[in-house]
Amino acid sequence: MIKASVLGATGYAGQEIVRILSMHPQVEIAGLGSQSYAGQSYSYVYPHFRNILDKTCKSPQDPEVIADADVVFLALPHGLSSSLAEEILQQGKKVIDLGADFRLNSQKTYQAWYKAEPPSQELLQKAVYGISELNRDRIKVSSLIANPGCYPTSIILGLAPLLREKIIDTQFIIIDSKSGVSGAGRKVALGSHYSEVNEDIKVYGLPRHRHTPEIEQELSLLGEEDIKVSFTPHLIPMTRGMLSTIYTKPKAAIKINDVIKLYQDFYHHEPFIRVLPEGEYPHTKYVLSTNCCDIGLSWDERTGRLIIITVIDNLVKGAAGQAVQNMNMMFGLEEDIGLNKIAVYP
């Protein structure tokens, strides 16, 4: 059995990790770290765990939370993971960080976008960007995973086949993304109050959303050139789910059936990627509470634009589910073990 601890276990992403791990046949939950609820039963914080997981939360600084684990998930705000990760790695444990601390390769870029002290260059070089379907070989042998952000996951998976095959003009990539409110986290904030978000939709984070350099970094690696994108995120009045609509321009004439086949071939062996047939487009409900990413494609002959639509559950494939998928690879397990693939519907 793999012994796993979760620091930041009482946030939304942390809770989702705990929920998935509690049903994982090869995992025992060793410790739960929470700054806000140390000393409280986990089922007191989240009553749906009553008689399922009544373990007491401890301070994230409690050495037992780390000492008892083989792998530690860090579901913490940016800036808090780097020192903890170093300590955990020194103890011979594996680390999967769901925050932003290790996602950017450049200290300078991290400092510019997050206005915080970056991790050491040594740790950044050790970290592997955990986009499961694209970095599988490196993830398997890594001890430090930078779990991708939710927006980047939906966008990178949507563009990877086109960039690998160099089919599109990389100077024309426009991304319109929409996320449910759970992406803002569990903390109390005016912008996520019910009366503020209900019957409303809004743009936020313009023109410099913090996920932009992460998106551009990984797309540039895929395309083997410097890529900049126009990225506009929106907050929509639902709890969870994410949809990204990506507008691109092919370099030459295409047939939509050929593009769909390219995607089907590219993701043929991937258990969580589903490419839809021509004329079908994904809904967020299709992936609710799953680790799936559904992809639909449309060719607009009138404008010469190829449109990619992707959907994920922002808390699962966009956070906790992808983290567990990475853990499975790190420990030599089947990637899909413990990850339910059937959506909750309606």
pLDDT band at 341 (very low <50, low <70, confident <90, very high): confident
pLDDT at residue 201 greater than cutoff 90: yes
Specify the pLDDT at position 192. 84
Q: Are strands 273-275 and 293-300 parallel, antiparallel or unpaired?
A: parallel
**Residue pair 100/152 in contact by the 8 Å Cβ criterion:** no
Sheet of 94-97, strand order: 27-33, 2-7, 71-74, 94-97, 144-146, 128-129
Q: Is 251 helix (H, G, I), strand (E, B) or coil?
A: coil
Cβ neighbours of residue 178 under 8 Å, at least 6 residues apart? 201, 233, 234, 235, 236, 242, 243, 244
Tell me the two tokens of residue 329: 């690879």
Specify the pLDDT at position 328. 98
Tell me the two tokens of residue 271: 């258990």
pLDDT band at 49 (very low <50, low <70, confident <90, very high): very high
Helices and strands (DSSP H and E) totals, the chain = 12, 13
Backbone phi and psi for residue 36, each to the nearest 5 degrees, phi listed first = -80, -25
pLDDT at residue 188 greater than cutoff 80: no
- For a pLDDT cut of 70, what percent of the chain falls above it? 100
Specify the pLDDT at position 337. 97
When computed from its CA atoms, the radius of gyration of the chain, rounded to whole angstroms, is 20
The residues facing 128 across adjacent strands are: 145
Sheet of 273-275, strand order: 202-203, 230-235, 168-179, 242-250, 305-312, 293-300, 273-275
Question: Comparing 127-141, 191-205, 307-321, 324-338, which segment has the lowest mean pLDDT?
Answer: 191-205
Between residues 310 and 82, the one the model is more confident about: 310
Ranges of each domain in the chain: 2-126, 151-313
pLDDT at residue 184 greater than cutoff 90: no
CATH of 151-313, one of 3.40.50.720, 3.30.360.10, 3.20.20.70, 3.90.245.10: 3.30.360.10
pLDDT at residue 24 greater than cutoff 90: yes
Whole-angstrom distance, CA of residue 29 vs CA of residue 324: 13
Specify the pLDDT at position 186. 85
CATH number corresponding to 2-126? 3.40.50.720
Positive or negative, the CA dihedral 199, 285, 245, 75 is: positive
pLDDT tens-digit map of 273-322: 999 999 999 999 999 999 999 999 999 999 999 999 999 999 999 999 99
Whole-angstrom distance, CA of residue 130 vs CA of residue 272: 15
pTM of structure: 0.96
Distance of CA 238 to the CA centre of its chain: 18
Whole-angstrom distance, CA of residue 99 vs CA of residue 256: 37
Tell me the two tokens of residue 39: 């000393």
Residue 150 is among the residues annotated as catalytic for this protein: yes
Out of 57, 150, 292, 293, the active site residue is 150
Overall average pLDDT of the 204-213 stretch: 93
pLDDT band at 60 (very low <50, low <70, confident <90, very high): very high
Whole-angstrom distance, CA of residue 276 vs CA of residue 306: 15
